[in-house]
Structures are given as structure tokens and as C-alpha cells.
Structure 1
Amino acid sequence: MSPEIRRAAIVSTSRGCGFAALAIVTAMIGFASEPALALRIGGVAFLLAAAILILKAWRAPRMPFRSTEVWLLLDDADRPSPGFAQTAISGARVEAFYRFAHMAATIAAVLLTGALLAGLMVD
């Protein structure tokens, strides 16, 4: 798989994950007066984001490559032949989805651990 395809898959996935993270952090700021609850909300939301990314990774091989954002991000010179494009683009998307799902799950673990510790300190 070419570096251009891998880069396009990461750019495409990171854009969506960035918007999701912005929404989650905004919700957490809304509950800043109760830190344990804010951390719990963030942790659960990031776990949900990780689950959604895993589901997207499972479905990625069945999505037609021409209807993906990765295909649109590639220059004409960087686009693979149609026979190879489905495999290459699907593989890059699956890799990117799992990569960001791992990051979201790690963030969720940190936030939920923080919520547990904050809850223990308050009680």
C-alpha cells in the first residue's frame, strides 16, 4: 500500500475523530463543576467512539472504494488501478480506524481511571 493512500486514510479518519473529540471535550466542560461526572462522561463517550470506529473498521472492506473520502483525497496520479484500489484503500481505512479506536480506548481508560480516583477523593 502506498504512503499516499495511508496518509489519505489517516487524514480522513482524523478529521472525523477530531470533531468527535471536540464534541466530547465540550460536553465535559459543561460538567466542569462536577469533575468526577465530567471525567465519567468523557470516558464513556470515548469508549463509544472507539466502538463506532471498530464497527466502521469491520464494514470498511465492503464499502466501494470510489465512494470513500480516501479516494477523493488522492490525486489522480496517486490513485491505484481499480483492481488493486479496493484492497489498498480498504486496508488503509481499516488500519486507520483501528489506530484511532486504540487511541480513543486509551483516552477512555485514562478518563475513567481519573473519574474513579476523583470519586474516591470526594467520598
Structure 2
Amino acid sequence: MDQIRRLAGFSVLRASGFSGIAILMVMMGTAHDAALCLRFGAGGFFALSLAMATYARFYHRRGRVEETEVWIMLPEADRPTKPVARTLIVAAMREQLAQKALWWLFAALGLWTASAVVAMTRG
């Protein structure tokens, strides 16, 4: 179970990391206006957090366990039977998706706060 949880965490971080890079690129494109840049980042990270929380909520509807990234990354010798693997992978992915969604939400709140501070100091 620990290996499945670790692989699920890696899978979620990899996927959300690419989304985070895309949001950072949008922020770099609006870097001429610091408050706007931070607002775009906050909105993007909030949207990412919401999408991940929603995906975590409905992840149990995933069809075949063989199509999951966690199953593919597991060495064949360590793979449990498919019904057991489905239960373990779904639980680990839901946990990791919810945890990383919370991380991105905190990043969004931090950027939103920074945006408000920048806007207030600018006058």
C-alpha cells in the first residue's frame, strides 16, 4: 500500500505540476502588472484546485485498473490482484488528489492575498 500511495503521489504531482507550469507562464505574460499577474495566478491555481477536488470526488468511477498510471508504474512482481489493486489505487489516488488540491488552494490564497497587498500599496 505504501508503494501505491507513493506512486499515486508522484502521478498527481507530475500532472498538477505541468498545470502549475502553464499557470506560471500566464503569470509571466502579465508580469508588467504585478497585481494582475498575481490575480491570474490565484485564479488559475484556484481552478486547478477545484478541478483536482472534483476529480478526487469522482475518481472511484474509473473503469479499468490497467489504464491507471499507478498500475503501469508498479513492477509486475509487486502488483496485487486486479480487484484489490483497484481498491488500493482508487483510495490512494483520491487521497493524493485531495491533498494536492488543498496545496494548490493554499497557493491560490497566498497569491490572492499578495495581489490585494500590491493593489493597496499602489493606491
Aligned residue pair count = 122
Q: Structure 1 residue 83: deviation in Å?
A: 2.3
What is the alpha-carbon distance in structure 1 between the residues aligned to residue 19 and residue 122 of structure 2? 29
SS at match of 2:38: helix
Q: Which residue of 2 aligns with 1:3?
A: 2
Between 34-43 and 71-80, report the one with greater CA deviation: 71-80
| CA deviations over 1:10-62 (Å, ceiling 9, x no partner) | 11111111101111111111111100000000000000000000111012111
What is the alpha-carbon distance in structure 2 between the residues aligned to residue 93 and residue 79 of structure 1? 16
TM-score normalised over the length of structure 2: 0.95
TM-score normalised over the length of structure 1: 0.95
Q: Which residue of 2 aligns with 1:68?
A: 68
- Alignment map for 1:1-123 (pairs within 5 Å): 2-64=1-63, 65-123=65-123
Q: Structure 1 residue 86: deviation in Å?
A: 1.3
| CA deviations over 1:69-120 (Å, ceiling 9, x no partner) | 1111111122111221111000000011011101000000000000011111
Alpha-carbon contact 1:4-1:78 (below 8 Å) kept: no
What is the alpha-carbon distance in structure 2 between the residues aligned to residue 43 and residue 86 of structure 1? 34
The runs of 5 or more residues in structure 1 that have no matched partner are none
Question: Partner letter of residue 96 of structure 1?
Answer: Q
The runs of 5 or more residues in structure 2 that have no matched partner are none
Note the aligned Cα RMSD (angstroms).
Answer: 0.8
- The percentage of counterpart residues that share the same residue type is 32
Question: Partner letter of residue 15 of structure 2?
Answer: G
What is the alpha-carbon distance in structure 2 between the residues aligned to residue 91 and residue 80 of structure 1? 14
What is the alpha-carbon distance in structure 2 between the residues aligned to residue 83 and residue 23 of structure 1? 36
